[in-house]
Amino acid sequence: MAHSSVVSLRGVSKRYSEKVLSVDNIDMDIAPGEFISLLGPSGCGKTTTLRMIAGFEQPTAGQVLIDGQDLTAAPPYGRPVNTVFQDYALFPHLNVSDNVGFGLSLTKVPAAEARQRVVNMLELVGLADKARARVQQLSGGQQQRIAMARALVCQPRVLLLDEPLSALDAHLRQHMQVELKRLQSSLGTTFVMVTHDQTEALSISDRIAVMHKGRIEQIASPDALYDSPESAFVAGFIGASNLLDGQVLHSVDDQVTVGVGALHLVARSRGPLARGSAVTVSLRPEDLRLGVRADSQPQATGRVLQRLFHGRALRLQISLPGIDSLTLDVSREAAQGQALYPGDEITLSIQPGAACAFAVQPTL
């Protein structure tokens, strides 16, 4: 019987002690052939969640289902999953071909089929010419691809990746992101990746589960997370954002007017907010505009505090009345005729509907 979800987590929690709750009652469904990333800061529970799917950790509560079968208590070898570890865990005494075929040697796959699978997998990852090489002779990116090939040659239902690119330098990491997505698309295998790198997750994931303090704050596509965050944490963690303290001046349905320093912003909200209530406003740096725009919200005059060069764009830190620091991204073309150096005065306006307002949760 086919299932709409290849992996399902139902009320999964992991408590290491009375004071240490790593994962707190999470629910998640992962579709066949999906590339999903678990993203969040250190200590948010993402690696523990991956390890519970793999079977290396047992949940304190809840169920782990794969293809509808409850495998919560099953050992790692009893699950149709494979894991690529952060350090790749390749065998230095074996050549590339033997490393890739190691998992098959432990199964009942006929020898001729196993050899052909290894050949096919090395071709897929672009390392057919390295079959007899020692792993010590390979670059970091090549070792990463061998680790992927070894995990995929056994044809798992789900491939789990624990920060697989973290050991690579920035340039190679970007290249391997493209390769990783290409490989997943070619095979149609379900990938679940743990990362703390938001750029990596946004670049190659179909969906992202943003985790915070053991819980899933939001799970959605990259564009939905960026454009429609459901909490101030997600707004601040995904991409660059100005998070500003404000007060609701007026509210109608899902649109509120918020006072933030000298600014009165019209912002989106997840439902009505009481007049006078405290909110956090998220405003992306690219949604601020230089000068007076006919289609923009009310303007304000500020002063440049800092100027950072980002290729074709400039990132400015500016101060406004009642706002100590605000980040503004502007293309160099749009800045023509303006020096935009520290101390310069500028006028800015705000893209209509760009801001999001979130109710401030009371501190317990």
**Within a domain: 364:** no
- Which of 232, 267, 284 finishes a domain? 232
Task: Give the three-class secondary structure for 104.
Answer: helix
User: Using a CB cutoff of 8 Å and minimum separation of 24, what contacts does 312-320 make?
Assistant: 314/340, 315/285, 316/340, 316/346, 318/346, 318/348, 320/261, 320/262, 320/263
CATH classification at residue 179: 3.40.50.300
- What pLDDT is attached to residue 313? 85
Whole-model pTM? Answer: 0.89
- What pLDDT is attached to residue 167? 75
Domain that includes residue 324, residue range:
240-359
DSSP string, 302-319: EEEEEEEEETTEEEEEEE
**Residue from 127, 123, 183, 124 nearest 159 by CA:** 183
CATH classification at residue 327: 2.40.50.100
Mean pLDDT within 18-42: 95
Same domain, 222 and 248: no
Query: Could you report the per-residue pLDDT of 342-362, keeping only the tens digit for each?
Result: 999 988 888 777 899 999 976
Same domain, 187 and 267: no
Average pLDDT, the chain: 90
- What pLDDT is attached to residue 295? 64
- What pLDDT is attached to residue 293? 65
When pLDDT is cut at 50, 70 and 90, the band that residue 265 belongs to is: confident
Task: Give the three-class secondary structure for 133.
Answer: coil
Same domain, 213 and 71: yes
Mean pLDDT within 251-264: 87
Same domain, 228 and 252: no
Number of structural domains found in the chain: 2
Query: Could you report the per-residue pLDDT of 270-294, keeping only the tens digit for each?
Result: 888 999 999 999 999 998 888 766 5
Same domain, 82 and 140: yes
**Within a domain: 1:** no
Q: Are strands 215-220 and 61-66 parallel, antiparallel or unpaired?
A: unpaired
**Residue from 313, 311, 359 nearest 340 by CA:** 313
Same domain, 205 and 263: no
**Within a domain: 317:** yes
| Alpha-carbon separation of residue 35 from 163, 170, 234, 237 (angstroms) | 14, 22, 20, 20
When pLDDT is cut at 50, 70 and 90, the band that residue 1 belongs to is: very low
- Which of 207, 232, 257 finishes a domain? 232
Same domain, 127 and 29: yes
Q: Is the pLDDT reported for residue 296 higher than 80?
A: no
Query: Could you report the per-residue pLDDT of 41-66, keeping only the tens digit for each?
Result: 999 999 999 999 999 999 999 999 99
